[in-house]
């Protein structure tokens, strides 16, 4: 019997019991749709994590002031006063794996514009900080290196500060705000960035020259941190070690003594976040794949019932010349059609489900062509795997015994 005839016979057998065929395909439909939707959710979450990591900065390391022990009291990180601007200059000059650096110091204050005020974080830094963090400007631009040298009263505002000081939508650039009764001219505003990986609001900040903050607001002479950008992702580990060695030498820390600073490598954090996202995607896909397995068992069950019901028909076909291979192909094709049609419908079901999740749950969903192709191939594989045993059983029936079957 030729292949086309076998397909016609298989399709006729399936359409003979339409409701049973539809219910059998339902498991595959739900399985394929669930796999596509869950992988889409996982990939969307992974992309969101990547975006947040990217917003943290390019190949970023943070050098922070460290801790020290006063008697029996061990003071926490940020307590030392040994991190200086000269350390930043030394890092730029002597560490070959460093591309850029920016001094940083922090202060909290009430910011005022006309009748509006907002309590926020004041960050003293340099223009290079915005390049290191990959931050773009919504309006205006950064203050200049000359502003840092001259201790000028200029400020860059985050989006949250803009919303609270200028709720009517006024353009802040060029306006004068007050910080601790000192006037500051707004030179730029940043594009909203949302929460950081640690959950803090990255937009609730004001950025001014670090020299202005040290001399006119805090009265400090030391830095809280230095943001450093390595020349590449691969160079971050080397940069971390080189910075550590340099600062230990500059701060005259003897072997065996603890550092009075810390160097945080955010590339390690990115690796952990990437690994977590990958595990989550695999976990979601694995859970969804269980429904595909259940759908395959359903196909196998129905095909075994079909073999029993059509035993006499199989005997007649074999008696008039059908070979075992013909019978086996017929039942395999029936299983493949059930899985294949169910897989196609499942793809549309998965796409619709993904859209609904994105639209109503506000979750990021990224459905890739790879996940669709894999789900479709998997459904076809389910049809072959779970259809093989019933097909083999049908092909091995004794024609004489099959003809006697009632």
Domain layout of the chain by residue ranges = 3-52+272-404, 81-259
Q: Which DSSP symbol is given to 2?
A: -
CA dist., res. 241 & res. 331, Å (int): 65
Report residue 376 as tokens. Answer: 């479709």
Backbone angles phi, psi at 98, to 5 degrees: -100, 130
* Count of positions (residues) in the chain: 406
Report residue 143 as tokens. Answer: 């203050």
- Pair 64, 262: CB distance under 8 Å: yes
pLDDT at position 24: 79
5: closest CA among 13, 306, 319? Answer: 13
Helix (H) or strand (E) holding 374: helix 369-395
Q: Which residues of the chain have pLDDT under 50?
A: 68, 70-77
pLDDT at position 354: 83
pLDDT at position 51: 66
pLDDT at position 52: 64
Report residue 153 as tokens. Answer: 């009263």
CA dist., res. 55 & res. 332, Å (int): 52
- Pair 123, 227: CB distance under 8 Å: no
C-beta neighbour count of 264 within 10 angstroms:
15
């Amino acid at each position: 019997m030729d292949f086309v005839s076998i397909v016609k016979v298989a399709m006729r057998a399936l359409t003979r019991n339409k409701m049973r065929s539809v219910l059998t395909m339902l498991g595959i439909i739900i399985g394929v749709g669930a796999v596509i939707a869950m992988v889409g959710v996982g990939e969307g979450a992974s992309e969101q994590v990547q975006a947040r990591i990217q917003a943290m900065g390019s190949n970023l390391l943070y050098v922070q002031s460290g801790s020290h022990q006063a008697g029996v009291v061990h003071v926490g990180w940020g307590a030392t006063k040994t991190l200086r601007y000269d350390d930043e200059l030394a890092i730029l000059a002597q560490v070959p794996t460093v591309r850029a650096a920016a001094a940083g110091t922090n202060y909290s204050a009430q910011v005022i514009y006309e009748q509006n005020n907002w309590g926020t974080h004041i960050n003293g830094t340099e223009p290079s900080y915005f390049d290191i963090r990959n931050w773009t400007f919504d309006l205006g631009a950064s203050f200049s290196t000359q502003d840092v040298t001259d201790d000028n009263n200029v400020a860059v505002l985050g989006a949250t500060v803009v919303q609270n000081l200028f709720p009517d939508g006024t353009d802040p650039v060029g306006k004068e705000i007050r910080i601790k009764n000192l006037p500051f001219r707004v030179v730029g505003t940043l594009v909203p960035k949302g929460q950081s990986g640690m959950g803090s609001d990255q937009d609730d900040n004001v950025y001014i020259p670090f020299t202005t903050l040290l001399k006119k607001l805090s009265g400090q002479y030391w830095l809280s941190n230095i943001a450093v950008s390595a020349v590449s992702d691969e160079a971050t580990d080397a940069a971390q070690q080189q910075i550590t060695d340099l600062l230990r030498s500059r701060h005259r820390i003897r072997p065996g003594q603890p550092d009075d600073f810390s160097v945080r490598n955010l590339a390690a954090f990115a690796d952990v976040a990437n690994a977590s996202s990958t595990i989550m995607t695999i976990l979601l896909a694995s859970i969804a794949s269980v429904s595909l397995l259940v759908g395959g068992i359903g196909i196998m069950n129905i095909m075994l019932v079909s073999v029993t019901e059509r035993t006499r028909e199989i005997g007649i076909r074999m008696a008039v010349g059908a070979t075992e291979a013909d019978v086996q192909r017929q039942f395999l094709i029936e299983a493949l059609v059930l899985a294949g049609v169910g897989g196609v419908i499942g793809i549309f079901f998965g796409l619709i489900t993904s859209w609904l999740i994105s639209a109503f749950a506000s979750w990021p969903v990224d459905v890739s062509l790879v996940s669709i192709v894999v789900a479709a191939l998997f459904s076809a594989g389910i049809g072959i795997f779970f259809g093989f045993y019933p097909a083999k059983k049908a092909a091995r029936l004794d024609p004489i015994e099959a003809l006697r079957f009632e």
